[in-house]
Amino acid sequence: MVAAESWLDRAAALALHGPAHGPNPRVGCVIVGADGAVLGEGWHRGAGTPHAEPAALADAARRGHDVAGATAYVSLEPCAHTGRTGPCTDALTAARIGAVRYGVADPNPQAAGGGEVLRGRGIDASLAPHAGCADVNRRWLGSVALGRPWVIAKWAQTLDGRTAAADGTSFWITGDEARDHAHHVRTQVDAILVGTGTVRTDDPLLTARPAGVPDPHQPLRAVMGLTDTPGARIWEDGTALRLATRDPREALDALAAREVRTVVVEGGGTVTTAFLRAGLVDEVHAYIAPALLGAGTRAVGDLGIGTMSDALRGQDVTATHLGADTLVTAFFTRGHQ
Ligand SMILES: NC(=O)c1ccc[n+]([C@@H]2O[C@H](COP(=O)([O-])OP(=O)(O)OC[C@H]3O[C@@H](n4cnc5c(N)ncnc54)[C@H](OP(=O)(O)O)[C@@H]3O)[C@@H](O)[C@H]2O)c1
């Protein structure tokens, strides 16, 4: 008999088929019969579509399996509320599922409590804490726990920490692979935010174009600052959001009101520094080019830190070679875990 751990590994893998962006978490579900046979599998494809449990039940029905008495392994606690779709607890109960194991308790107050509801109906439901299931939704879980969008600060820098040359030019610090990677990251988030300085200097489009092709998912683009930037390309299609504030918290509130769970702050240094000073950066993506400038704009300005023991230190660091460049990522908030 395969342990719950392995079935939850499977549920986490199924969850990854869902979109990383959007207001909902990624969830996977596998329904397993008493003999250990997989009866149905499903995952959530994004807000407004069936949750993973009904998707797995439908898959089992399609395959002609009766799931009465079977165990459902779900990466996240089944929801007990009616949102855009009905409660998963009802779907599992109606299908006469015998047991439910979930890898993470749902921290979202509107949807939580599904395990208790199921137990109240005589179903053997319990939390089986699973790191893989938590990892799938690290940003989403962090956002719910923090009560604000999860913030990724991203920049491209030279080896000596410059993000633009003395004349303001910053295009082409890094090469094609690094830029393409950054476009891929944009496809996984709900919003991109920059300051008015970057709009004025770089006139960026801020669309998601991995491999040069516009992605079907385009994050909301937001510009933060008090001055207007008329005529910039970002305003051309009328979809970008102007945030007339210098307060990072206010900017995040405005994004949260638009159901943003994850935002990439793409600079410039002034805005990135303001988020860091406010303790509002959860993850950093630094693309580092093997170039030296000596002068120019710094990636991060004064954080009011005067001694080494006060340095902000990241965790779960990764380093990825992208052509001649290196992407270093690090988490600065533990979030849910
Ligand atoms: N290499 C990279 O990854 C990268 C990325 C982006 C930009 N850049 C480069 O960075 C340079 C622009 O940097 P930047 O720092 O001037 O641009 P920025 O951070 O995009 O914008 C700065 C402006 O934003 C407004 N602002 C918003 N919040 C603020 C706050 N809390 N405090 C102060 N001002 C705030 C201010 O303008 P208002 O008067 O409108 O309020 C300020 O002048 C350009 O040379 C660009 O090419 C490089």
User: How far, in Å, CA of 26 to CA of 37, rounded?
Assistant: 24
Calculate how far, in angstroms, residue 282's C-alpha sits from the geometric centre of ligand 1.
20
Ligand 1 atom closest to residue 271's alpha carbon, by position in its atom list:
19
Q: What is the pLDDT of residue 334?
A: 67
DSSP string for 231-269: T-GGGTTS--EEE--S-HHHHHHHHHTTT--EEEE---H
Q: What architecture is domain 4-136?
A: 3-Layer(aba) Sandwich (3.40)
Which residue of 186, 247, 265, 271 sits with most ligand 1 atoms within 8 Å of its CB, as the best mutation to test the pocket?
Answer: 271
Which residue of 297, 300, 327 sits with most ligand 1 atoms within 8 Å of its CB, as the best mutation to test the pocket?
Answer: 297
- Residues linked to residue 297 through DSSP beta bridges, in sequence order: 164
Mean pLDDT per 10-residue run, the chain (337 residues)?
Answer: 85 97 96 97 94 97 97 96 84 97 91 91 97 96 96 98 92 94 98 97 96 97 98 97 98 98 96 97 98 96 96 97 98 70
- Atom 45 (ligand 1): residue with closest C-alpha? 168
Residues lining ligand 1, CB < 6 A? 155-156, 163-164, 168, 170, 173, 194-198, 201-202, 224-227, 246, 266-271, 274, 297
Going by C-alpha positions, the residue among 304, 266, 313, 273 that lies closest to residue 287 is 266
Going by C-alpha positions, the residue among 81, 86, 82, 59 that lies closest to residue 70 is 59
Calculate how far, in angstroms, residue 270's C-alpha sits from the geometric centre of ligand 1.
5
CATH of 148-331 given 3.40.50.10470, 3.40.430.10, 3.40.50.300, 3.40.50.10800: 3.40.430.10
Ligand 1 atom closest to residue 224's alpha carbon, by position in its atom list:
27
User: How far, in Å, CA of 169 to CA of 296, rounded?
Assistant: 9
Catalytic residue set: 53
Taking the domains of the chain in order of start, what are their residue ranges?
A: 4-136, 148-331
Positions of E strands within the chain:
28-32, 38-43, 71-74, 99-102, 124-127, 150-158, 162-164, 191-195, 220-224, 241-243, 262-265, 283-289, 297-298, 315-322, 325-331
- Atom 42 (ligand 1): residue with closest C-alpha? 197
Q: What is the pLDDT of residue 336?
A: 47
The first and second tokens of residue 331, run together, are 């988490």
The first and second tokens of residue 3, run together, are 């342990």
Calculate how far, in angstroms, residue 93's C-alpha sits from the geometric centre of ligand 1.
53
The amino acid that residue 22 corresponds to is G
Calculate how far, in angstroms, residue 298's C-alpha sits from the geometric centre of ligand 1.
11
Q: What is the pLDDT of residue 2?
A: 65
User: How far, in Å, CA of 62 to CA of 50, rounded?
Assistant: 15
